[in-house]
Amino acid sequence: MKEKVILAYSGGLDTTAIIPWLKENFDYEVICCCIDCGQGEELDGLEERAKLSGASKLYIENIIDEFCDEYIVPCVQAGAVYENKYLLGTSMARPVIAKRLVEIARKENASAICHGATGKGNDQIRFELGIKALAPDLKIIAPWRMTDVWTMQSREDEIEYCKQHGIDLPFDASHSYSRDRNLWHISHEGLELEDPANEPNYDDLLVLGVTPEKAPDEAEYVTMTFEAGVPKTLNGKAMKVSEIITELNKLGGKHGIGIVDIVENRVVGMKSRGVYETPGGTILMEAHDQLEELVLDRATMEVKKDMGNKMAQIVYEGKWFTPLREAVQAFVESTQKYVTGEVKFKLYKGNIIKAGTTSPYSLYSESLASFTTGELYDHHDASGFITLFGLPLKVRAMMLAENEKNN
């Protein structure tokens, strides 16, 4: 009986070519597993293509709600943004994909999991750390790192390989952007983006929306509510998180929201340039931040910012299934108890403009913040506070002055 391998299958050229390659070089029974994180029409025709390529079975696993509720929401609550720009769209999806691959491997009694990530990118790390954490006994096959066996170097090579194995597929060798899509975002790499000196060709590049220049000339108001840091309604309608993100993607895309051009530092040590479209995610993160401004005290906000950066690093590096992620997430969750209220804003040509925020747990006091004297604040108290708060500065200045006089 042949050993089984679970192939993380997207239906693209790389993973399609891997199917006959695995059978030819390892004599595996190949079971394809496509994890649906919200790729949309990219999943059309996958079963026929997988079987045509030699797979014995194809799983299409819809994990959109799990992805949103258990991976996206914790990152939104943490304010996890990598290098101040990247909202972790691909990074957040990899651990939940790895988790489901392991579950299918156990169900099928497979001995290995194969992925099509390259040897230069972050995804190989994210997939493999997830698999190692959840199933250390499973073998991991990474064809792009096996250069003695995997000899294909281009799309043309892969297409020719498929043809040699009787697989006629609807791919051509024309160049296109390298993309990764899920419900949260779509990333673009390659072509003119490989040179940071080049401006992105947004007319060819964008999938989820338009540039701010092409957005409507009229602003659009949006209202959201949160309960304990979790989004609950959009424009007065109760929805699941996945439904809220879907609707925000439409609104954000329409108004040119969430287009980021970044040169980021990959885990493997190199810099890479990409353009990310995260229309709904950008709105959701901003709305959550807007509510936290009212609710969190200064000291908590200060530490939480550090924890958000740490969470972003953890997720980016593929370390989701670690005690550190659990600990950081536990801290973040403790800060979300009172992040409840309503956020209103308007979308206009790439901007998210505040239009009012309310919360029953707001720490904002109009009487304290106004210039009139409220009963909680005596202006005279500020003199003593400033004296004590500035005492180290004054003592140091006196010391310097004394030394200068004596010299």
**Catalytic-role residue among 36, 49, 100, 123:** 123
Q: Is 123 a catalytic residue?
A: yes
Task: Find the catalytic residue in 56, 111, 178, 242.
Answer: 178
Residue positions forming the annotated binding site for L-citrulline? 86, 91, 122, 126, 178, 187, 264, 276
The DSSP-derived string for 45-57 is THHHHHHHTT-SE
Residue pair 58/43 in contact (Cβ under 8 Å)? The answer is no
**Annotated binding-site positions for L-aspartate:** 118, 122-123
Which residue ranges are tagged as binding site? Answer: 8-16, 86, 91, 116, 118, 122-123, 126, 178, 187, 264, 276
Quote the CA–CA distance of 22 and 114 in Å, as a whole number. 9
Is 195 a catalytic site residue? no
179 is catalytic: no
Bridge partner list, 226: 231, 341
Whole-angstrom CA distances from 366 to 297, 342, 363, 370, 376 are 16, 18, 10, 6, 11
Residue found under tokens 């009229």: 218
Question: How far is the C-alpha of 283 from the C-alpha of 331, rounded, in Å?
Answer: 24
Respond yes or no: is residue 148 known to be catalytic: no
Q: Looking at residue 377, what DSSP letter applies?
A: -
- Binding-site residues for ATP, in ranges, read 8-16, 116
Whether the CB-CB separation of 339 and 228 falls below 8 Å is answered with yes
In angstroms, the CA 217 to CA 170 distance is 40
C-alpha angle 253/254/255, rounded to 5°?
90
Q: Are 82 and 316 in contact (CB under 8 A)?
A: yes
| Candidates 36, 49, 53, 94; catalytic one | 94
List residues with catalytic annotation: 14, 94, 123, 178
